[in-house]
Amino acid sequence: MRAIPYAVIGVLALALAGAVAAQGASDMSGMSMSSAAAAKHGQGKGVVKAIDTKAGTLTIQHGPIAAVSWPAMTMTFKAKPATLLKGLKVGQTIAFDCTVQGMKAEITAIRPN
């Protein structure tokens, strides 16, 4: 006889949990689920510190880039397309265009400077 009350309590608990989950989902129906921030575009000047053709990345010591709210720093960018890396040399001074979205930064154009 004791098994029946425990079974009823279990069924009620599951039903209540389902109702709470359904209510929570409906409360968020009007919200944008995109966590990606809008892309920002900027231009910078700097010195090539490292080139990784296998990874398609370029490390640049660059000055401030106001358009993306960055101070001067040294950082690694993904080159998009990777063919932008052709002909570059460590120590070379370049001007570049970049696109930043969240924590992702890509070089989209490179010009010798």
Q: What pLDDT does 65 receive? A: 96
The percent of the chain in helix, strand and coil, each rounded to the nearest 5, is 30, 40, 30
pLDDT under 50: residue ranges of the chain: 19-35
Distance CA 93, CA 1 (A): 83
Element (DSSP H or E) covering residue 110: strand 104-112
Question: Candidates 3.30.2020.30, 1.20.1440.230, 3.40.50.720, 2.40.50.320; correct CATH number of 40-112?
Answer: 2.40.50.320
Q: b/e map of 87-101 (b: 16 or more CB within 10 Å)?
A: ebeeeeebebebbbe
Domain boundaries, the chain: 1-33, 40-112
Q: What pLDDT does 89 receive? A: 97
